[in-house]
Amino acid sequence: MTGPWKLVGVLMLALVSVSIMSAAPAATPQSQANALGAAATAPGDLKAVTFTKDVQPIFQRACVQCHRPGSAAPMPLLTYEEARPWARSIKDRIVKRQMPPWHLDRSIGEYLDDPSLSDDEIATIARWVDAGSPRGNPADAPPPVNLATLGEWVYGEPDLIVEMKKGFQLPAEGPDMYPSELVDPGITEDRYVKWVQIIPTAYCCVHHSHVYVTIPDDAEREGLGLSMGSNLEREVDLIEYAMGNDADIYPDGVAKKIPKGALFRFAPHYHPWGKDIHDRERVGIKFYPKGVVPKLVVTSHRLRTGVGNDWVLNRTRVEDLLLRKGYPLDLDEPRLPVGNLLDENTGNNAALLSIPPNTVARHERFYPMPQPGMIISFQPHMHFRGKRMLLEAIHRDGRREVLTDVPNYEQSWQITYTYKEPHLFPAGTILHVVSWHDNTANNPHNPDPSAWVGYGPRTMDEMGHGWTDIAWLTEEQYQQALAQRAKKRLTTTTSSGQR
C-alpha cells in the first residue's frame, strides 16, 4: 500500500528518535513556548533549531522518499541547499498537514509506514523556518540517505517484471482516457504474491491505474467476492497505482493468488495534463517460494457507497435484478446469496451516487461479512467532490467501531492505509463505508457546484469506493488466529510488567 517510503522508514526511524531525543531541551517554559512556534529563537541561543540537527532527520523519515531526484515530487529535499529555497512553502504545507500526504484522523488506529508528522515535529520545522532556516553545524547532520534504498523497487528485486507491450501515447490535452491492454505474464503454475509494485512512466498524467488478473476459465474462482475488484466477473485486482500508492506487501502467510494461465490486464485512467507523453507501466512481483502455499488468500473488495445499494434495505429489488439475469437464487437464504455477483454485475445498477448541486451528499454501504476475515487495509477512492470517507465495523452486538476516518480526503492522492495489526472479525460483522462528496463552492477542487453529479468513470463524474483488502478465514482459522492474538497480548503484558 503505500509508496516508496517503506524502506527508508524502517532504516531511519531509529535515527530520528535518537536525534529528536538528544535535541529535545528540558521542558522549561521557554522551550514550551518555542515548541508552540510562538517565540522567535534568540540569537546565540544554543538550543536554536537547525537544519542539520533537527530538521534533516525529519525530512529523511517523512519526505525524501518522494522528494528526491526522479520522482513525482517537484523538488528534492535531501540537502540543505535543496531545502532552503522552499522553506516558507514547507512551513505552509506542513502546518496545514498537506505534506506529507496522510489525510486520516491520526487519533484512530495505527498504520504501517505512517509518514505523518507529530505536533512536535511540525513545531520544530516551523521554528526553523521562523528563525531564518539556519543550516547549523554540518557535524550534526544524520548520515546521508542511501539512495539505493530509494530504488525503484521498494521491497527489493522482484521475481517477475511484467511490462505493458506498447503502452499508450497521451496527448497534451483532451478528454480522460481509459485504455486497457492484456499481457500474458507467462505464469505456468499457481503462484502466491508476497509483494507487488507498479511503476508508470508518465507520472504527470496517470490519474490511477489498475492491474487485474484474469482468471482462466478452467481455474476455480477461489475466495469470496473475488470479482468485486473489477468490472468483469473473472478478474481480481492485483494492484493499483496512484500518487502515494504503488506497492502492496502482505504479512507472512498471507498472499494474493495468481492462478496458472492468468493474464494481466493493465487498466490505466489517464488525465491529459499539458504534455505529450508516453506511458509504459511495469508491474514487479515477489512470489512466495515455489511450493509454499500461504494459509490465507487476500482479495480486494470494492465497497461502493451509493443510494440504496444496501442489500438489506433493497433486497427485493436486487433479488429481482438477479433473477432476471438468470442467477439461481435461494430466496429463503437469510444472508447475502452471491455477494460477488451482487456487487459487480447486476448489483451495479443499484449502486448509484446522487450528488445534487450545492450540497454535501452522504452515501453509505453495508457489507455483512459472510465469513470471518482479516481486514488488512482501506483505501478511499473518490473524485473532485470527494471530501471524507469512513470505514467502521458494526459488531454483532451492535457496537460500532470506526476503523479509519479520512476527513481530509484529497483526490490527487489515493493512499492505502494499511493496518499495523490487521483487524480480525467474525462472520456477520458488518463493514460500513460512508462517503461525503462536497459539491459546494467551499470545495476548492469543485469544477462546477451547479452541476448534478452521478456515478461515472470520468474525473468529472464521481465514485465512492472503499477499497478493502480482506483475507477470508475458515471458522477454524479464525479461532486459531484469535487464540494466537490472545497469547501475544498476554506475553506483551507480562514482559512489560517485568520491566
Strand ranges for 444-484 from DSSP E = 453-454, 465-472
Cα distance between residue 8 and residue 38, in whole Å: 32
Distance linking the first and last C-alpha atoms of the chain? 35
Cross-strand partners of 286 = 195
Contact 409, 443 (CB under 8 A): no
Instruction: Name which of 120 and 320 has its Cβ closer to ligand HEC.
Output: 120
Task: Return residues touching ligand HEC (CB under 6 A).
Answer: 3, 5, 59, 62-63, 65-67, 72-74, 86, 89-90, 93-94, 99-101, 115, 117, 243-244
Nine cell digits for residue 257: 493468488
Residue 10 CB, shortest distance to ligand HEC, in Å, is 15
Residue 336 phi, psi dihedral angles, 5° rounding: -50, 125
**Closer of 129 and 376 to ligand HEC (Cβ):** 129
CB of residue 90 vs ligand HEC: minimum separation in angstroms?
Answer: 4
Residue 62 CB, nearest distance to ligand HEC (Å)? 4
Question: If you count them, how many residues does the chain have?
Answer: 499
Report the b/e string of 52-74 with b at 16+ CB within 10 A: bbbbbbbbbbbbbbbbbeeeebe
Spatial neighbors of 288 by CB under 8 A, at least 6 apart, are 191, 192, 193, 194, 255, 294
**Which residue's CB is nearer to ligand HEC, number 45 or number 82?**
82
- Using the minimum distance from each CB to ligand HEC, give the nearer residue, 262 or 406: 406
The minimum distance between CB 122 and ligand HEC, in angstroms, equals: 9
Nearer to ligand HEC, 215 or 243 (CB): 243
Nearer to ligand HEC, 12 or 117 (CB): 117
Tell the smallest beta-carbon distance from residue 487 to ligand HEC (Å): 36
Torsional sign, CA 265, 198, 105, 461: negative
What is the smallest separation between the CB atom of 266 and ligand HEC, expressed in angstroms? 22
- Give me the least distance between CB of 77 and ligand HEC, in Å please: 6
Q: For residues 44 and 322, what is the distance between their CA atoms, to the nearest angstrom? A: 76
* Closest to ligand HEC by CB, 298 or 406: 406
